[in-house]
């Protein structure tokens, strides 16, 4: 009984810790996105890896923590995502405090798709009228790398 209680307590503490870590990471990432910088979006194509970019300030974070990115072109990125939806994204800012002083950034792993209708697309279109689609990224992990 005592052992069971201890296990339960540890599990709950672990979950709370995880949740707190998650919030700390998310807040830091939101802070980075408030500062301008270049975002790199890597996909895998038949001919090898592919990189596209956006700006930090263009990345919209939904209430359920998905990323929405305006696609004006990104045709190769779309073709790649149709075959393999795994994306890697890096983003950073020198103006946000990192592990060693000013400068921080993240490596985000996610699953992507291009969305051309619905509320996510409408949100992107309202902010970026030139967007032909929203690149939606469901975040699998986000690691602070600096």
Ligand X SMILES: Cc1cc2nc3c(=O)[nH]c(=O)nc-3n(C[C@H](O)[C@H](O)[C@H](O)COP(=O)(O)O)c2cc1C
Q: Can residue 58 be called a binding residue for ligand X (CB under 6 A)?
A: yes
Q: Can residue 62 be called a binding residue for ligand X (CB under 6 A)?
A: no
Which residue number, 25 or 128, has a Cβ lying nearer to ligand X?
Answer: 128
Q: Which residue from 55, 107, 111, 123 is in contact with ligand X, where contact means CB under 6 A?
A: 55
The least distance separating ligand X from the CB of residue 81, rounded to whole angstroms, comes to 9
Rounded CA separation 136/134 (Å):
6
And the tokens for 34? 């408030």
Whole-number Cα distances in Å, 116 to 10, 68, 99, 133, 135: 45, 12, 38, 5, 9
Among all chains, which residue has been given the structure tokens 């970026």? 128
Q: Can residue 71 be called a binding residue for ligand X (CB under 6 A)?
A: yes
Q: Are 109 and 71 in contact (CB under 8 A)?
A: no
Q: Can residue 74 be called a binding residue for ligand X (CB under 6 A)?
A: yes
Q: Can residue 81 be called a binding residue for ligand X (CB under 6 A)?
A: no
The least distance separating ligand X from the CB of residue 71, rounded to whole angstroms, comes to 5
DSSP SS3 for 7: helix
Q: Which residues bind ligand X (CB under 6 A)?
A: 38, 52-55, 58, 70-77
């Amino acid at each position: 009984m005592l052992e069971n209680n201890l296990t339960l307590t540890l599990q709950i503490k672990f979950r709370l810790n995880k949740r707190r870590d998650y919030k700390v990471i998310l807040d830091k990432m939101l802070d980075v996105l408030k500062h301008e910088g270049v975002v790199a979006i890597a996909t895998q194509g038949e001919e090898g890896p592919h990189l596209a970019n956006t700006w930090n300030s263009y990345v919209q974070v939904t209430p359920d923590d998905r990323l929405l990115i305006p696609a004006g072109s990104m045709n190769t990125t779309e073709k790649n995502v149709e075959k393999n939806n795994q994306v890697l994204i890096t983003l950073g800012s020198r103006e946000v405090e990192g592990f060693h002083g000013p400068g921080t950034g993240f490596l985000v792993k996610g699953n992507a798709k291009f969305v051309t209708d619905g509320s996510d697309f409408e949100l992107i279109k309202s902010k970026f009228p030139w967007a032909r689609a929203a690149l939606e990224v469901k975040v699998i992990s986000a690691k602070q790398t600096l």
